[in-house]
Amino acid sequence: MYTYKILVKASKRNIPITDEIIDAVIDCIKIANNKPNANRRRYTFSFEGINEDNTGMIIKLTSASVVSPTRSLSSVSNEIVKNYPEITKQIAYNKNIFRSKEIASENEDFSNMQPLEITGTVNEIFFGRHTKADKLIAEKYQDEIFKIVRKYKIETTTKD
């Protein structure tokens, strides 16, 4: 699993994070976590708290694969725009509602993967939906998997 912490501020400068904004973000996180895209890509958001000067929120993103954490936040942003127009007006600037940056990340080393997780990952490499960048990576590993399978088949096929 990959874990990212994102500092999220209102797009308008120096807007304090109010309880109303926090409640809206928490509600929209719940909605975004239940969307098909979140289930398909296996990621979840959680609200971690606010920063010291009360101008930003810390949001944690946990994902089964590498993602762009600030771009993934758009699913939460879209829900804010759709469900909370008054908050959108309060925090938006230049058609953006948030400014965000990744402040921490932890990546799993994958040294203890179980066979089911390995086969699921291989399936994802061949049949998963990929961004353009991920598609190039998937194609690279598809070639490597083909080579391994070919070697295995050659070595295990008995010749009569």
Residues 123 and 96 in one domain: no
Domain extent at residue 147: 115-156
Residues 19 and 55 in one domain: yes
Each residue's pLDDT tens digit, 60-74: 999 887 788 888 899
For the chain, what is the domain count?
2
Residues 31 and 98 in one domain: yes
Each residue's pLDDT tens digit, 30-50: 999 999 888 888 899 999 999
From the list 83, 88, 103, 89, the residue with the least C-alpha distance to 7 is 103
Each residue's pLDDT tens digit, 85-112: 999 999 999 999 999 998 888 876 666 6
Output the domain CATH number for residue 81: 3.30.70.1290
Q: CA-to-CA distance for 137 and 128, rounded, in angstroms?
A: 12
Region 12-40: mean pLDDT is 93
Residues 63 and 40 in one domain: yes
With a cut of 90, say whether residue 77 has pLDDT above it. Answer: yes
Three-state DSSP class for 86? helix
| pTM score, whole prediction | 0.66
